[in-house]
Amino acid sequence: MTEDILEPDLPIIDPHHHLWDLRPLIPAFPEPRHDFIDAIAGAAYYTFDELHSDTHSGHNIIGTVFMECGAFYDANRGDAMKPVGEVEFVNGVAAQGASGLYGDYRPCAAIIGHADLTLGEAVNPVIEALVAAGNGRFKGIRHAGAWDADAEVLGPPFHAPEGLYGSDAFRAGFAAYAEHGLTFDAWLLEPQLGDVLELARAFPDQQIVLDHCGTPLNIASYRGKLDERFDTWRASINAIGQCPNVAVKLGGLAMAFCGMPEDGPAAGDGSEKLATMWQPYIETCIDAFGTDRAMFESNYPVDRWGASYPVLWNAFKRLAQGYSAEEKRALFAGNAARIYDIEHILPAA
């Protein structure tokens, strides 16, 4: 699907993308493969060149935020410290972008890594190592809590235990982590949104970012139930939106878990159709969190399942047509820059 780029001069910070090389892992997944595995198999190798190509496909992407994905862990370190290798790798990509060879573009200007918060206070040396590895770019962690009783929902890559965010071990680690003044990205599924609400209320001074609109589900036993579960999802989003320490990422809806569209990968739908499909979710999130605590995200390359990079951002721009120039600046760049502490890459208003 090829489209003219809407509002090509609008500055964008893409606050959620991955870098990885999954080629050695894909053959290990059994047939028939889960939809998510099929989605990432089409982008099994995604590093600087692929990111640069997508972020230079027409929209004015001025910088990005890398999101942990278990890539390039350091096999020579102990289990707790292995994730430091991912931050070291991504910091190299960020340094490549900051060389000036690619203009003012700043990929991975902020790096979100991973640390196992069930370590309790023992997570502190891990955080310190991550901070050192990021060379000023490390801004926080994500410890995903996605779980469902139906194992087919998530498939083989995900193994978070039930009720992770409420467990004593996790809460002890979260309390230790909160002392570092960094961000926390939360990824879990729509039926689990109460876990984020409880976490946000228990730690009101900790900045939390809810990924992917809270991940409404249209896969496995949830397939065909988006309409049926919409009011439940909306009530959860509205409740979380009352917590001033939580922001939300507007995106992820094109990944296989959400199934909007269902017929991925690379369904070829245009931005008008996608915007219509996503509108109830995006509008609900912005209404709940306001234009100062929401940010559009690509979730690439995972969301390649349903949308090419330029079409995805066109859909977001269609959804933001009714907002002022100031509100658009916040939704597309300003909020991400403030929350992830990279305001230095923002052009003057």
Domain segments of the chain as ranges: 11-345
Question: pLDDT truncated to tens, each residue of the chain (349 aa)?
Answer: 589 999 999 999 999 999 999 777 666 666 655 666 666 666 788 999 999 999 999 999 999 999 999 999 999 999 999 999 999 999 999 999 999 999 999 999 999 999 999 999 999 999 999 999 999 999 999 999 999 999 899 987 677 999 999 999 999 999 999 999 999 999 999 999 999 999 999 999 999 999 999 999 999 999 999 999 999 999 999 999 999 999 999 999 999 899 999 876 566 789 999 999 999 999 999 999 999 999 999 999 999 988 999 999 999 999 999 999 999 999 999 999 999 999 999 998 7
Task: Domain 11-345: state its class.
Answer: alpha beta
Structural element, H or E, at residue 90: helix 84-97
**Per residue in 166-216, pLDDT tens?**
999 999 999 999 999 999 999 999 999 999 999 999 999 999 999 999 999
How far is the C-alpha of 277 from the C-alpha of 330, rounded, in Å? 23
Reported as type and span, the H/E element at residue 177 is helix 168-178
What pLDDT is attached to residue 263?
77
Position 348 scores a pLDDT of: 86
Closest CA to 249 of 40, 50, 51, 65: 65
- Quickly count: other Cβ atoms within 10 Å of residue 100's Cβ: 8
Give the pTM: 0.95
CA–CA distances in Å: residue 327 to residues 65, 194, 286, 294, 319 = 20, 29, 11, 10, 12
